[in-house]
Amino acid sequence: MTIPSLQDGIDKAGSPVDLLWKPGAEPWVPEVVEREFAGWRQEQAAWHEGVALLNLSHHMYDMWIEGPDATRVLADHGVNNFENFAVGQAKQYVPVTGDGYIVTDGILAREGENKYLLSGIPAAQHWVQYHAEKGGYDVSFVTDPSSAFRPGGGAPKLFRYQVQGPRALDLIHSAFGGPLPETKFFHSTPVTLDGRAFRALRHGMAGQAGYEFIGPWEHAAHVHEAFLKAGEPLGLVQVGALAYTTPSVESGWIPSPVPGIYSDPGLLEYRRYLPLFGIEGKRPLNGSHFSPNIEDYYVSPYELGYGKMIHFGHDFQGRDALLKAKDEELRKKVTLMLDRDDVRRVLGEGQDPGFVLSYARHRVEDVDGGLVGVTMQSASIDPVGTVLAQTLITPAHASPGTEVSVVWGEHPGTDTDPEADLGFPRIRATVRPSPFNQHARTHYRRNI
């Protein structure tokens, strides 16, 4: 039986938007991990005020890239600078299409001179592997899907635990019997715990101090238990799947942008290479901002705040398009702080709306009702006391303090005029910087 391709799905649906538009789609949360441990509010508070433990072992897709051409294939198809990429360092890898649209980002760790680990949702991995195979690069690939998609339901190859928050270093000192070696941000250092060797990646979330510990799955249970024991006197809180999805809203990272691959005739072969039931064919679009043109959902790395990562000192796919876009007036990434009373009115029927999470593309309007932006991810942030939304907005409306409205609703799709007044409620919102968290804005994002 032939496995249907992404292009097969587009052809059958009639268009990329018809394939992807799913009104009311449930927002993604990490698989396998408990949805809540102490409750999402207490879990959010833990990384702001105390210490939190997060389990990232199950929802990441890992791909090892190894061989003499490993650096070359990554550099040829990503914007990043590889000249001073040290072994043990990690980067946010940013691949783009020939038209300069982002495919998606991922975390790329250099494990050896000719060996890398690319982690995240698998769109970036698909892109790199396809071009490596098509271009005849001398590299090999080993993949480990996320636990929800791993054949046979076996264990991951790696564990990933994050220890985060103001008291994270206290827990780490306790667990390891002292401080870890001085490590630069987004660099890793080898560590040993009770004779078990793994790595500590200097990392933080929502502007807080912390590490991500990565190692072979055979050590997972012991390391997890050691962190729980060391954290108990510190009030350690385990973070569940719901709260885990929210730090990106504060730290300014927009997860899973629509890959810019659906319309370019030159990528027809690529769409035939991709399976329909992969991330590119099944990650839904929904919200109040509907357009029948898929290109209206594409984003530039400049819009996502990745301009400083673009290294024009090497040739790469999309370089010319990004050089041209460098001087264009593109949308800006901001955080919208939604009005608390309007959130209760619209989402909670006058009461506490509880946990809110949305990856919907909601229409953002100015005071005259004109379209000025689109939300990319919205979530309840209890320490802030309302919903925040990572948003792309026109430069004229990007200044902090600007007042706009978010149209909250689910456009039904193709059979309804994109500009139809469907009576959706408006939620007042105020533009704030992105990242919202000051430390993340002034230190964390500066160092990636």
Rounded Cα gap, residues 235 and 85, in angstroms = 37
Mean pLDDT across 47-68? 96
CATH topology of domain 40-60+152-251: Gyrase A; domain 2 (3.30.1360)
Residue 20 pLDDT: 98
230: tokens are 């060391």
Instruction: Report which of 343, 434, 414, 415 is spatially closest to residue 380, judged by C-alpha positions.
Output: 343
- Tell me, what amino acid is at 190? P
pLDDT tens-digit series, residues 195-231: 999 999 998 765 566 899 999 999 999 999 999 999 9
pTM comes to 0.95
Residue 80 pLDDT: 98
Q: Is 248 left (phi over 0), alpha (psi -120 to 50) or beta?
A: alpha
Domains 40-60+152-251 and 332-447 share a fold: no
Instruction: Report which of 405, 422, 334, 333 is spatially closest to residue 370, judged by C-alpha positions.
Output: 405
Rounded Cα gap, residues 55 and 240, in angstroms = 8
Three-class secondary structure of residue 56 per DSSP: coil
For residue 143, is pLDDT > 80? yes
265: tokens are 């005739």
pLDDT tens-digit series, residues 288-314: 999 999 999 999 999 999 999 999 999
Rounded Cα gap, residues 317 and 322, in angstroms = 10
pLDDT tens-digit series, residues 105-123: 999 999 999 999 999 999 9
Query: H or E stretch including 120?
Result: strand 115-120
Task: Characterize 25-43 residue by residue with b for buried, 16 or more Cβ atoms within 10 angstroms of its Cβ, and e for exposed.
Answer: bebbebeebeebbeebbbb
Rounded Cα gap, residues 428 and 232, in angstroms = 41
Three-class secondary structure of residue 21 per DSSP: strand
Mean pLDDT across 401-430? 96
* Residue 273 CB neighbours (<10 A): 16
Split at pLDDT 50, 70, 90, the class of 49 is: very high
Residue 207 pLDDT: 57
- Provide the pairing of β-strand 371-381 with 357-358: antiparallel
In degrees, rounded to 5, the angle at the alpha carbon of residue 47 between the alpha carbons of residues 380 and 304 is 60
Residue 447 pLDDT: 44
70: tokens are 């490993």
β-pair partners for 333: 392
- Tell me, what amino acid is at 72? R
Residue 214 pLDDT: 98
H helices of 262-326, in order, are 268-273, 279-282, 319-325
> What average pLDDT is seen over the chain?
95
From the candidate CATH numbers 3.20.20.105, 1.10.357.10, 3.40.50.12780, 2.40.30.110, the one assigned to the domain spanning 332-447:
2.40.30.110
Q: Domain residue spans in the chain?
A: 40-60+152-251, 332-447
Contact of 362 with 425, CB cutoff 8 Å: no
Contact of 311 with 339, CB cutoff 8 Å: no
Split at pLDDT 50, 70, 90, the class of 86 is: very high
Dihedral, CA atoms, 259, 263, 265, 271, nearest 10 degrees? 50
